[in-house]
Amino acid sequence: SEAWRDAGRPAPFPLPGRPMASDHRRILATALGRLRSKLKYRPVLFDLTPGLFTLSQLQAGAEAVSGLGLHKQNFRRGVERTGLVEPTGQMSSATGGRPAELFRFKGVDDQTGAAPGLSLPAQR
């Protein structure tokens, strides 16, 4: 609805929700773009997850931020390859099916201070 409003025309059909005020749409788009680009070189996704999480929850967060659907096994392999997570030995039964293993963020390398981002496919 903001695009129609910005063009000075009413929306041709009813849209759900309320339009954003002022330039909030631009601010939100800029923030999301910066977060998406930061995913590649910093582990910012772990700042958006709880302390203990399943890999499915981590993947859902990555998909929400990136705007892409990710292949489950490739995502899991990529996360394990980075060494950013460690299993806790605990299981979560809140998944609705088979209990899922809980993981935690290991943190950055103490010697180098470096922590890689997650390898996600490029947006098209």
User: Each residue of 51-62: pLDDT tens digit?
Assistant: 999 999 999 999
In the block, tokens 């292949």 appear at 71
Provide mean pLDDT across the span 6-26.
79
Do residues 70 and 122 make contact, with C-beta atoms less than 8 angstroms apart?
A: no
What is the crossing angle of helices 24-38 and 55-66, to 10°? 130
Q: What are phi and psi of 105, to 5 degrees?
A: -75, 130
Provide mean pLDDT across the span 2-25.
78
Q: C-alpha distances in angstroms, 2 versus 12, 23, 51, 83, 108?
A: 13, 9, 36, 42, 41
Would you place residue 73 in the very low, low, confident or very high pLDDT band (cuts 50, 70, 90)?
very high
Class of domain 43-108: mainly alpha
> In the structure encoding, which two tokens stand for residue 91, read together?
């299981």
Q: What are phi and psi of 29, to 5 degrees?
A: -65, -40
Give start-end residues of each CATH 1.10.10.10 domain in the chain: 43-108
